[in-house]
Protein backbone atom coordinates (compact mmCIF):
# COMPACT_ATOMS: atom_id res chain seq x y z
CA UNK A 1 0.00 0.00 0.00
CA UNK A 2 1.45 3.32 -1.01
CA UNK A 3 0.80 6.68 0.61
CA UNK A 4 -1.16 7.67 -2.48
CA UNK A 5 -3.88 5.26 -1.43
CA UNK A 6 -4.49 6.65 2.05
CA UNK A 7 -7.97 7.97 2.63
CA UNK A 8 -8.56 10.81 5.09
CA UNK A 9 -12.03 11.71 6.38
CA UNK A 10 -12.50 15.35 7.38
CA UNK A 11 -15.33 16.02 9.86
CA UNK A 12 -15.62 19.81 9.92
CA UNK A 13 -18.61 22.13 9.52
CA UNK A 14 -16.64 25.12 8.21
CA UNK A 15 -16.53 24.80 4.41
CA UNK A 16 -13.52 27.11 4.19
CA UNK A 17 -11.46 24.97 6.53
CA UNK A 18 -12.61 21.80 4.76
CA UNK A 19 -11.42 23.31 1.50
CA UNK A 20 -8.01 24.18 2.92
CA UNK A 21 -7.64 20.71 4.44
CA UNK A 22 -8.67 19.03 1.19
CA UNK A 23 -6.14 21.11 -0.75
CA UNK A 24 -3.36 20.32 1.71
CA UNK A 25 -4.12 16.61 1.86
CA UNK A 26 -4.58 16.23 -1.88
CA UNK A 27 -1.26 18.01 -2.41
CA UNK A 28 0.23 15.01 -0.56
CA UNK A 29 -1.78 12.61 -2.76
CA UNK A 30 -4.17 11.49 -0.07
CA UNK A 31 -7.74 10.79 -1.00
CA UNK A 32 -10.24 12.93 0.91
CA UNK A 33 -13.85 12.47 2.03
CA UNK A 34 -15.64 15.36 3.72
CA UNK A 35 -18.42 15.42 6.30
CA UNK A 36 -20.04 18.65 7.54
CA UNK A 37 -21.69 17.23 10.67
CA UNK A 38 -21.12 14.65 13.39
CA UNK A 39 -23.88 12.38 12.07
CA UNK A 40 -22.48 12.55 8.54
CA UNK A 41 -18.97 11.90 9.82
CA UNK A 42 -20.01 8.68 11.53
CA UNK A 43 -21.83 7.52 8.38
CA UNK A 44 -18.85 8.32 6.14
CA UNK A 45 -16.47 6.58 8.55
CA UNK A 46 -18.58 3.43 8.34
CA UNK A 47 -18.94 3.65 4.56
CA UNK A 48 -15.37 4.51 3.62
CA UNK A 49 -13.25 3.02 6.43
CA UNK A 50 -10.74 5.90 6.23
CA UNK A 51 -7.10 5.46 7.26
CA UNK A 52 -7.27 8.59 9.40
CA UNK A 53 -9.87 11.09 10.59
CA UNK A 54 -9.49 14.82 11.14
CA UNK A 55 -12.26 15.82 13.53
CA UNK A 56 -13.40 19.28 14.57
CA UNK A 57 -14.93 19.48 18.06
CA UNK A 58 -17.41 22.31 17.42
CA UNK A 59 -19.92 20.66 15.10
CA UNK A 60 -23.52 21.79 14.53
CA UNK A 61 -25.36 18.64 15.58
CA UNK A 62 -23.20 16.88 18.16
CA UNK A 63 -19.87 17.53 19.79
CA UNK A 64 -16.85 16.13 17.97
CA UNK A 65 -16.12 14.11 21.10
CA UNK A 66 -19.27 12.10 20.37
CA UNK A 67 -17.94 11.34 16.89
CA UNK A 68 -14.67 10.08 18.33
CA UNK A 69 -16.40 7.87 20.90
CA UNK A 70 -18.71 6.45 18.23
CA UNK A 71 -15.80 5.73 15.85
CA UNK A 72 -13.94 4.00 18.66
CA UNK A 73 -16.81 1.53 19.03
CA UNK A 74 -16.00 -0.05 15.68
CA UNK A 75 -12.56 1.08 14.48
CA UNK A 76 -9.06 1.85 15.79
CA UNK A 77 -8.60 4.48 13.06
CA UNK A 78 -6.22 7.28 14.07
CA UNK A 79 -8.12 10.43 14.99
CA UNK A 80 -6.51 13.85 14.76
CA UNK A 81 -8.57 16.55 16.48
CA UNK A 82 -8.47 19.98 14.89
CA UNK A 83 -10.10 22.48 17.20
CA UNK A 84 -10.26 26.11 18.21
CA UNK A 85 -10.53 24.89 21.80
CA UNK A 86 -7.08 25.33 23.23
CA UNK A 87 -7.64 24.66 26.93
CA UNK A 88 -5.72 21.75 28.37
CA UNK A 89 -8.99 20.29 29.68
CA UNK A 90 -10.36 20.14 26.10
CA UNK A 91 -7.27 18.34 24.86
CA UNK A 92 -7.49 15.86 27.71
CA UNK A 93 -11.20 15.25 27.04
CA UNK A 94 -10.45 14.59 23.36
CA UNK A 95 -7.61 12.20 24.14
CA UNK A 96 -9.73 10.41 26.73
CA UNK A 97 -12.54 10.07 24.16
CA UNK A 98 -10.08 8.19 21.94
CA UNK A 99 -8.33 10.84 19.88
CA UNK A 100 -4.68 10.19 19.05
CA UNK A 101 -3.49 13.72 18.54
CA UNK A 102 -4.64 17.33 18.80
CA UNK A 103 -3.94 20.36 16.65
CA UNK A 104 -5.19 23.81 17.66
CA UNK A 105 -6.71 26.29 15.21
CA UNK A 106 -5.33 28.36 13.65
CA UNK A 107 -3.03 25.61 12.51
CA UNK A 108 0.28 25.42 10.72
CA UNK A 109 -0.04 23.51 7.44
CA UNK A 110 3.35 21.75 7.73
CA UNK A 111 2.61 20.72 11.32
CA UNK A 112 -0.82 19.40 10.42
CA UNK A 113 0.61 17.33 7.57
CA UNK A 114 3.38 16.03 9.81
CA UNK A 115 0.81 14.90 12.38
CA UNK A 116 -1.27 13.26 9.64
CA UNK A 117 1.83 11.36 8.51
CA UNK A 118 2.58 10.37 12.09
CA UNK A 119 -0.97 9.11 12.58
CA UNK A 120 -0.86 7.06 9.38
CA UNK A 121 2.53 5.66 10.37
CA UNK A 122 1.28 4.60 13.78
CA UNK A 123 -1.74 3.03 12.13
CA UNK A 124 0.50 1.06 9.79
CA UNK A 125 2.63 -0.07 12.73
CA UNK A 126 -0.32 -1.39 14.70
CA UNK A 127 -1.72 1.56 16.54
CA UNK A 128 1.02 2.39 19.02
CA UNK A 129 0.21 5.80 20.42
CA UNK A 130 2.70 8.52 21.10
CA UNK A 131 2.11 11.15 23.77
CA UNK A 132 0.68 14.42 22.55
CA UNK A 133 3.36 16.99 21.91
CA UNK A 134 3.52 20.28 23.69
CA UNK A 135 2.36 23.26 21.69
CA UNK A 136 4.93 23.96 19.02
CA UNK A 137 6.20 27.43 18.21
CA UNK A 138 4.42 29.05 15.27
CA UNK A 139 5.61 27.72 11.94
CA UNK A 140 6.11 30.04 8.96
CA UNK A 141 2.95 28.94 7.16
CA UNK A 142 -0.07 29.77 9.28
CA UNK A 143 -3.54 29.18 7.91
CA UNK A 144 -5.74 32.01 9.05
CA UNK A 145 -9.32 31.07 9.77
CA UNK A 146 -12.50 32.91 10.39
CA UNK A 147 -13.32 33.26 14.10
Cβ distance to Ca ion smaller for residue 56 or 70: 56
CB of 35 to Ca ion, least distance (A): 12
Distances (CA, A) of 32 to 5, 54, 83, 84: 10, 10, 19, 22
Distances (CA, A) of 21 to 8, 46, 147: 10, 21, 17
Nearest to 99 by CA among 3, 1, 11: 11
Closer by beta carbon to Ca ion, 56 or else 111: 56
How wide is the angle at C-alpha 56 spanned by C-alphas 88 and 40, nearest 5°?
145
Nearest residue (CB) to Ca ion, 13 versus 111? 13
**Which residue in the shown chain puts its C-beta closest to Ca ion?**
58
Identify the CA nearest to 106 among candidates 88, 84, 86: 84
**In the complex, least distance from residue 15 CB atom to Ca ion, rounded to whole angstroms:** 11
Residues near Ca ion (CB under 5 A): 13, 56, 58
Q: Between 58 and 127, whose beta carbon lies closer to Ca ion?
A: 58
Amino acid sequence: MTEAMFLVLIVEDDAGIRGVLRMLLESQHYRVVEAESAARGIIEARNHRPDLLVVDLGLPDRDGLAVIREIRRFAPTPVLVLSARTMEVDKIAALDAGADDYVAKPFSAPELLARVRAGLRRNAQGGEQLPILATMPPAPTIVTLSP
